[in-house]
Amino acid sequence: MALPAIVEHDGIFVVRDDVHLGGTKARVLPRFLTGADEFVYASPVYGYAQIALSHCCKAAGKKATIFCAKRGELHARTQEAKRAGAKIVQVPHGYLSNVQSKARAYAEATGSQLIPFGLDFPEFLEALATVAISLDIKPSEVWTVAGSGVLTRALQMAWPAARFYAVRIGAAPDAGCATVLTAPEKFEQDAKMRPPFPSCTNYDAKACQFIRHRASPGSLFWNVAA
């Protein structure tokens, strides 16, 4: 698999995983799709991991089942997961805790494998860190958007000497040693300021407003998905 592309935009180096099918997490997820024929994930409707899992399962000949909150119409990201072959299970009264409970019960009943929320488990972080270490760059300052905080913690493993900034977009993430800045938009809202490259509108794009005013020249921003 090709390494992530790094492109300079306005003096900031950007990892352009928006060009990778399924985004950053799809780079390493395939190696963990073992031991079962079906993989289950509880996702916020706005989340991108549902897309990564769906594309990776399709490529591996596995079944992806996505649990999410019930809506009048599927969110665009859930629709993409469905187009990639995922089975979508909508949960009424879809608070994330309820969606997770239903997904867990389904996995236990069917013998399928439940994927941890945010893909937050040690081996996954180590695999992401290995990708970063393989890049021909050692940044002194790194910016990410943190949902669960998995990416920023993995990058801290790769580049322990760097300064880290993580933009919070929802619930408080486990961002390790990163300085956490909170996006002014609500989780479900799109970023008011957009970067000059494709970026997930209610996730990665929300870092743009901070990077433009606070990032040091030559900093690295890791863009997970379009």
Going by C-alpha positions, the residue among 203, 10, 28 that lies closest to residue 115 is 28
Domain 6-21+120-223 identical in fold to domain 26-118: yes
- Looking at residue 39, its amino acid is F
Beta strand extents in 38-120 (DSSP E only): 38-42, 63-69, 87-91, 113-114
Distance CA 109, CA 158 (A): 38
Q: Where are the domains of the chain?
A: 6-21+120-223, 26-118
Instruction: Please check whether residue 132 is in contact with residue 154, taking contact to mean a CB–CB distance below 8 angstroms.
Output: yes
Q: Which two tokens stand for residue 174?
A: 């486990």
Write down the pLDDT at residue 1. 73
What pLDDT does residue 93 have? 86
User: Residue 117 has which token pair?
Assistant: 């929320």
Q: Which residues contact 120 (CB under 8 A, 6 or more apart)?
A: 148, 149, 150, 174
For 60, the token pair is 């591996």
Confirm or reject CATH 3.40.50.1100 for domain 26-118, answering yes or no: yes
Phi and psi for 120 in degrees, rounded to 5? -90, 85
Q: pTM to 2 decimals?
A: 0.94
Q: pLDDT digit of tens for each residue in the chain (226 aa)?
A: 788 999 999 999 999 999 999 999 999 999 999 999 999 999 999 899 999 999 999 999 999 999 999 999 999 999 999 999 999 999 998 889 999 999 999 999 999 999 999 999 999 999 999 999 999 899 999 999 999 999 999 999 999 999 999 999 999 999 999 999 999 999 889 999 999 999 999 899 999 999 999 999 999 999 999 9
Instruction: Outline where DSSP puts E strands in the chain.
Output: 6-9, 12-16, 38-42, 63-69, 87-91, 113-114, 141-146, 163-168, 179-182, 220-223
Name residue 83's amino acid: R
CATH of 6-21+120-223, one of 3.40.30, 3.40.50, 1.10.10, 1.20.1410: 3.40.50
- For tokens 């910016």, the residue is 143
Residue 192 near residue 178, CB atoms below 8 Å: no
DSSP 8-state class, residue 185 = S
